[in-house]
Amino acid sequence: MIITLRKGAKQKEIMVVTEKVKGLGYRPHISKGEDITIIGMIGDSAEKYKEVFEAMDVVEHVNEIQKPYKLASREFKRENTVVKVSRNVDIGGKKIHVMAGPCAIESRDLMNDTGKIVKEAGGTILRGGAFKPRSSPYAFQGLGEEGLKYMEEAGEKLHMPTISEAMTVEQVELLSKYCDIIQIGARNMQNYDLLKAAGRQKKPVLLKRGMAATVKELLLSAEYILSQGNYDVILCERGIRTFEDSTRFTMDLNAVPVLKKFSHLPVVLDPSHGIGIREHVGTMAKACIAVGADGIIIEVHPRPEEALSDGPQSLMPEQFRRLMEDLDLVAKAVGRELLD
Ligand code: PEP
Ligand code: MN
């Protein structure tokens, strides 16, 4: 059960409510926003005390939440969450944002060149991995902090926010200094210490669905981040593992309407990893927009044949430019905006 307190509730009043929660044998979970404090009442059948809290003066309203994820649920918050990434980039509003760039940050020049291509085509967020979760330990593992510096530099020059993946708690801290969005990759969706660390810092988090995770598990992972006080969570569908082996993964477009129904959080889709084949990334990107994505994340490389990671699914610059125009048409058809 979620108890929302009146705007500007005083510390003393918050204490009274939390003591009441404890007194009834439940665990209070306090989340303080800028001016609203929310107290989660954790434990079985908390709903039976709904009226007790509704009767308290400091309480604005009390919500019963049936779902195992609470703060992530649509029951908890009816309106869509809009995640503010930077002064002019909001994810979850009318505008669909395209995050694009190489799979891995390979050099300073690559980030500057790709950033320019992405920006000129209408992309609004620059992506690039500094710590890469590669299937093989012999594959390129990323440039680490040096790479983050290259991306930060390119982002500043082009006035573009940036996104990069953290695989460990220490990397979360490092990334929060260099990037505007912290990505938690598919392979780490259920790394709970990592989720908690991402929740303890303030930068928005893009949480990718694990390749063998259900929608419910994705939302429970989002709940870990939210429960630490970071409400800027963006969900990301990037394809799941099925028996199908003609594509890299199976893009679960079904997840979009379902996630939107169950949660207020914005949803971004990743057609590059979803299908894994350059020739088909554009087709799937259009489908992503049509199905209701709030943004997409796409791999682009000026010379994919030389890419150190995910070359076969990276778009060439010209393909990306043409795709952006097509995506704009699809966005308009579904009542959204993409290009300015
Ligand atoms: C990536 O974005 O390059 C990546 C590794 O993504 P995922 O975690 O979805 O595989
Ligand atoms: Mn990749």
Residue 219 and residue 181 in one domain: yes
The residues, ordered by sequence, that sit 6+ positions from 226 with a Cβ below 8 Å of its Cβ are 31, 71, 72, 199, 233
Residue 202 is predicted with a pLDDT of: 95
CATH code where residue 24 lies: 3.30.70.1140
Is residue 77 assigned to a domain?
A: no
Number of independent structural domains in the chain: 2
Token pair belonging to 93: 């509003």
103 lines ligand 1 (CB under 6 A): yes
Residue 226 and residue 319 in one domain: yes
Residue 43 is predicted with a pLDDT of: 78
- To test the pocket of ligand 1, the residue of 141, 143, 187 to mutate (highest count of ligand atoms within 8 Å of its CB) is 187
133 lines ligand 1 (CB under 6 A): yes
Token pair belonging to 180: 């505007």
Residue 219 and residue 313 in one domain: yes
Is residue 76 assigned to a domain?
A: no
Q: What is the pTM of this model?
A: 0.91
Residue 70 is predicted with a pLDDT of: 86
DSSP one-letter string for 168-208: SHHHHHHHHHH-SEEEE-GGGTT-HHHHHHHHHS-S-EEEE
185 lines ligand 1 (CB under 6 A): yes
Q: How many CB atoms lie within 10 A of CB 88?
A: 11
Residue 42 and residue 90 in one domain: no
Maximum pairwise Cα distance, the chain: 66
In 3D space, the residue among 288, 279, 304 whose CA is nearest the CA of residue 256 turns out to be 288
pLDDT tens string, the chain, 340 residues long: the values are 999 999 999 999 999 999 999 999 998 988 777 778 989 898 788 999 999 999 999 999 998 888 989 889 998 888 899 999 999 999 999 999 999 999 999 999 999 999 999 999 999 999 999 999 999 999 999 999 999 999 999 999 999 999 999 999 999 999 999 999 999 999 999 999 999 999 999 999 999 999 999 999 999 999 999 988 899 999 999 999 999 999 999 999 999 999 999 999 999 999 999 999 999 999 999 999 999 999 999 999 999 999 999 999 999 999 999 999 999 999 999 999 999 9
Residue 50 and residue 93 in one domain: no
Residue 10 is predicted with a pLDDT of: 93
DSSP one-letter string for 216-266: HHHHHHHHHHHTTT---EEEEE--B--S--SSSSB--TTHHHHHHHHB-S-
**Structural domain of 47:** 2-63
295 lines ligand 1 (CB under 6 A): no
Residue 45 and residue 110 in one domain: no
Cα distances (Å, whole numbers) of residue 62 to 3, 11, 73, 239 = 5, 19, 14, 36
CATH code where residue 177 lies: 3.20.20.70
Is residue 171 assigned to a domain?
A: yes
Is residue 101 assigned to a domain?
A: yes
Residue 253 and residue 142 in one domain: yes
105 lines ligand 1 (CB under 6 A): no
Residue 11 and residue 99 in one domain: no
Residue 40 is predicted with a pLDDT of: 87
In 3D space, the residue among 79, 96, 97, 100 whose CA is nearest the CA of residue 333 turns out to be 96
Is residue 74 assigned to a domain?
A: no
Residue 66 is predicted with a pLDDT of: 84
Is residue 123 assigned to a domain?
A: yes
* 101: region left, alpha or beta (phi > 0 left; psi from -120 to 50 alpha): left
Is residue 131 assigned to a domain?
A: yes
Q: Which residue has the tokens 């434990």?
A: 43
Q: Which residues pair with 4 in a beta bridge?
A: 38, 61
278 lines ligand 1 (CB under 6 A): no
Q: How many Å apart are CA 197 and CA 212, to the nearest integer?
A: 23
Please tell me whether residue 67 adopts helix, strand or coil conformation: coil
Residue 78 is predicted with a pLDDT of: 81
Residue 94 and residue 168 in one domain: yes
Residue 46 and residue 127 in one domain: no
Residue 110 and residue 9 in one domain: no
The residues, ordered by sequence, that sit 6+ positions from 180 with a Cβ below 8 Å of its Cβ are 85, 86, 125, 155, 161, 162, 163, 203, 204
Which ligand has the nearest atom to the CA of 304?
A: 2
Is residue 78 assigned to a domain?
A: no
- Distance from residue 220's CA to the centre of ligand 2 (Å): 24
Residue 292 and residue 150 in one domain: yes
Q: Which residue has the tokens 């992972």?
A: 221
